[in-house]
Amino acid sequence: MFELLSEPIRRYVREQHWDGLRPIQSASIQKVMQSEDNLILASRTASGKTEAAFLPILSRVDFSEAGVQVLYISPLIALINDQFFRVEELCKHLDVPVTKWHGEASQTLKNRLVKDPRGVVLITPESIEAMLVNSEYKAKGLFSNLKFIVIDEIHAFLGTDRGKQLQSLIFRLRQLNKGNVRVIGLSATIGSFDQAKDMAGPENTTKILLDPNGKEIETDFKYFEQGNLSELPLALIKDLYLNVCNNKVLVFPNARGTAEEVAVKLHRLSEKVGGHPHYYSHHSCVNKEWREYIEEFAKNNERFPFTIACTSTLELGIDIGSVDKVVQINATHSIAGLIQRIGRSGRRNNETSKLSLYATDPWNLLQGLACMTLFKREKFVEPIEYTEKPYDILLHQALALIRQFSECTQDELIHKLSVNAAFKHITVDEIKEIVQHLQQTDMLEFIGGKLIIGVEGEKITNSKDFFSVFQTETYFRVQVQDKPIGEIPLTHFTTVDQNILLAAKIWKIIDIDIPAKKITVIPAMDGKKPVFAGSGSGEVHPRIRREMLKLLIEDNVEMPPLSDDAKEAIRQLRLEFEYYKIEDFEVDRPLKVQVKEMFWYSFQGTRINSTLSFLFKAAGIDHEWWDVESKFRFATGNFELIVQQAMKVYDDLDSHLVKKVLNDPTELSFSKFGHHLPFKYQVLLVKDKRYDFAGAMDFLSTVNISQVNVLPQP
C-alpha cells in the first residue's frame, strides 16, 4: 500500500523508521486512495489511527486549491493541541498550513486564515456552530471547498446530544459544498457501528475498517470491605501503595472526591516511608494549568514512577505516554469504559495491559468481574443507545438555522430541518408543530412573510452558552493567595474553617466570596474529601447484570485471579443465592420472602430498573430499589399480582407520563433546551430518553420467579 502514497509522504514515512505500516493504516491507505467511500477506522488506542487517516488524505488532496481542504473535528481542546504537533509535522513536507480553531486558539492566526483560507483546520463542534451562527460568510469562505472531514474519537459523540448536533453540523457543512465531502471517523472498538455510519453520511456510502486485535490483559481482583465507613479502608490504601509506589500508574476511583482522597492519602503514606513525591489528582475541577503540568510530567518523564488518581479526564486519547498499570477502584459502569481505561497501560509494543481492581463491597466486586468475564469470553461491548427523535436538538438547530440565514420562510425552515439526516425519524408534521410553537412563545417572530429570531429567542441565541447543547453547573474558583488551584461546587459542607482536599493537597477555607464565586484557602494538615453533587445517570447494561447472576449461580464458573478476601466475598454472596432455582439466566429471577418484606432481584440494567420503578410507583405499589444489587423491596404479598398491576399501567402509560412530567420538573433536567418544546414533545422526550418501556414490559411478561421463604430463626 506504501506505493499508493505521494512522494513527500513516502519520504515522511521512511524518516520515521517504522517497522512497517499497521494493518489499519494499510487498509485505510487503500480505501482512501482508491475509493470515494466514507470510512470508520476502528482499532485500539495508540494503533496509529491519526496517521492512518492523514497519510492518504495528504497524498490525495490538492492543497493548491483555495479554501480549507481538510477539517479535523475533536471533542476536546486538549486533543486538538496534542494533535496539532503531529499533523503539523506531517504537513511540513508538503508546505500545507495547519490552523487550530477553538475558543482558546489565537485570534490573530484565525484572522490570518480567514484572509487566506487554505490547508488543514483543527476545530471543535461548538466552534463550527458559532461560526455558522455568527458569520456564515466566514464559514462559506473557509469551508465551501472541503474534501475531507476527519472526526477523532467519534465514539465519544455517538449516542449523545452533542453527537446529534455534530451530525447536523456535518450536514450543514455539506450544504455549503458543491463537491463531495468525505467523512473519516476514528474510533475505539465499540459495540456497534450503525451510529458511526449514520454520522458519516447516507446509508451504504460508509465502510468500516476494523482491527479487532487488542492487547493481552492481565488482571487481579482484590477486596477490602468498606462497610459503613465514609472513607476508603486503611488496609486498601496500604495495599494500593505497595502496588503503585514503584510503577507509573493511573488510578480510576469513579468520583472526583475519591480521586482527591486517594492522591492525598498515598502522598502522605509515601512521605512517611520516604518514598517519591509524585502523587497527583487529575479531574475536571483541578485547575487547567496544573492538569497540563501533570500531563507533561507523565509524558516526558522516563525515570520516575508516579501515580495519578483521575476520572474520565484521562480516559480519552490525550497522549500521556507509557503507563505500567491501571488501577480501578470499584466497578466501571460500562465495559467500553473499562477497556478504554485498561488500554492506557502497556502502550509500548508487545507489552500486556495490566489492571488491578479494588472492590469495597461485594456487589461492586461482582460487577467488575462480570464486565471482565463478558469481555474476555465474548468480546462483548455495550451497543450504543440512541434517541430516534431528538426533538430538543432539533429545536436548538431550528434557532441556529434562523440565526445562520438571518431569516427564512416557514416552509424553508421546515424543509432544511426535514432533509437533515440527524432528524430523519422526525416527521414533517412534528417539525411544523414545533416551529409553530416557537412562534407562539416568541422564540421566533413572523414578519413580512419571513421568520426571524423573536424576543425570547434573542435571549437564548445571543448568549455564548448557545453553541453547546450540554448543561453545566456553576462552580466556585478556589485560590490560595492569588494562585488558582481549581474549583468546587458550593454545598452546605463548604463553609469557612472547613478543610477540603483539592489538587492532591489539603486546604483550609478562610473566605467565601459569593458574588465573585471565589473561595480563598490556605494550606492545612488534615481534611475531608470535597463533596460533588452528582446527577447520577451512570447506566449499566442488562447484559452485565445477567452475567452477574450467572457468576452467582453457575457451578465451576471460570473467573480471573482473585485475592483470598475477594474469593471469600464472592463465596458468601453465592451462598445467599444457592437455594434459588435459576436455569434460564434471561428470565428466572430470585424472590426472597420474609415475614414483613420481600426482596426481588431483577438482575436488569439501570434503565429497565428505573422504568420498573416508574411502573410500580404509577400502580401505587410501595417499594424501594437499589441499582448496584438490582434489588427491589416490597411489603410481603402476592408478587404475581404486583407484576400484573405494574403491567396494567402500560395500558394508560401516556397519562401517567403526563402526570409525572407535570409534577416533577427534574424529569426533563437532562435536556438543556427541552423545556422550550411543546409539552407533548417534552413528554415524548422523557419517555424515549429516560426510560425503556418496551424492555421493561418484555421483561415483566416473561419473568419467571424462583421463590425462597426465609423464616426467622426460632
Partner DNA sequence: GACCTGCTGCGGCTTG
Please, which residue, 474 or 556, has the CB nearer to DNA?
A: 474
Nearer to DNA, 41 or 469 (CB): 469
Of 405 and 585, nearer to DNA (C-beta) is 405
Give the 3-state secondary structure of residue 514: coil
Output Rg (C-alpha) for the chain, integer angstroms. 27
> How many CA atoms within 13 Å lie on the side-chain side of 313?
23
> DSSP labels for 183-246?
EEEEE---S--HHHHHHHSSTTSEEEEE------EEEEEEE---TT-SS--HHHHHHHHHHHTT
The continuous run of DSSP H or E covering 456 comes out as helix 455-461
Residue 474 within binding range of DNA, rule CB under 7 A:
no
In the complex, the smallest distance separating the C-beta of residue 102 from DNA, rounded to whole angstroms, is 4
**Residue 467 contacts DNA per CB under 7 A:** yes
By C-beta, is 161 or 430 nearer to DNA? Answer: 161
Residue with cell 480516559: 315
When the beta carbons of 155 and 162 are compared against DNA, the nearer one is: 162
User: Residue 600: which of 635, 564, 552 has the closest Cα?
Assistant: 635
Rounded to whole angstroms, the Cα distance separating 52 from 616 reads 52
- Cα separation, 608 vs 692, in Å, equals 6
Minimum CB distance to DNA smaller for 63 or for 84: 84
Q: Is the CB of residue 113 less than 8 Å from the CB of residue 101?
A: yes
Q: Which residue has the cell 470535597?
A: 530
> Which residue in the set 24, 68, 77, 697 belongs to the binding site for DNA (CB under 7 A)?
77
- Report in angstroms how near the CB of residue 590 gets to DNA at its nearest: 21
- Joined grid coordinates for residue 588: 428466572
* x-or-dash string of contact with DNA, 367-406, rule CB under 7 A: ----------------------------------------
Chain residues 40-69 in contact with DNA, contact rule CB under 7 A: none
Residue the block writes with cell 510530567 = 297
According to CB under 7 A, which one of 307, 353, 356, 468 is a site residue for DNA? 468
- Footprint of DNA on 301-340 (CB under 7 A): 311-313, 333-334, 337
Binding string, residues 216-235; x marks residues near DNA by CB under 7 A: --------------x-----
Among 98, 285, 365, 478, binds DNA (CB under 7 A): 285
Q: Give the footprint of DNA on residues 122-181 (CB under 7 A).
A: 124, 126-127, 130-131, 134-135, 138, 162
Residue 476 beta carbon to DNA: minimum distance, rounded to whole angstroms: 15
Interface segment toward DNA; rule CB under 7 A; list 141-149, 382-390, 433-441, 528-536:
528-536
Strand, helix or coil at 160?
coil
Using CB under 7 A, which of 75, 486, 590, 605 touches DNA? Answer: 75
Distance CA 183, CA 250 (A): 34
CA-to-CA distance for 637 and 62, rounded, in angstroms? 74
CB-CB contact of 384 with 192 (8 Å)? yes
H runs (alpha helix) in 521-663: 542-553, 564-576, 606-618, 639-649, 653-663
Scanning residues 531 to 550, which ones bind DNA (CB under 7 A)?
Answer: 532, 534-539
Minimum CB–partner distance for residue 94 and DNA (Å): 26
To DNA, the closest distance from the beta carbon of 338 in angstroms equals: 11
**CB-CB contact of 109 with 185 (8 Å):** no
Q: What are phi and psi of 475, to 5 degrees?
A: -120, 155
Alpha-carbon span 319 to 81, nearest angstrom: 11
Interface with DNA by CB under 7 A: which range of 467-475, 476-484, 636-644, 690-698? 467-475
Site residues (vs DNA, CB under 7 A)? 75-78, 102-104, 124, 126-127, 130-131, 134-135, 138, 162, 230, 254-257, 283-285, 311-313, 333-334, 337, 464-465, 467-468, 470-472, 532, 534-539, 627
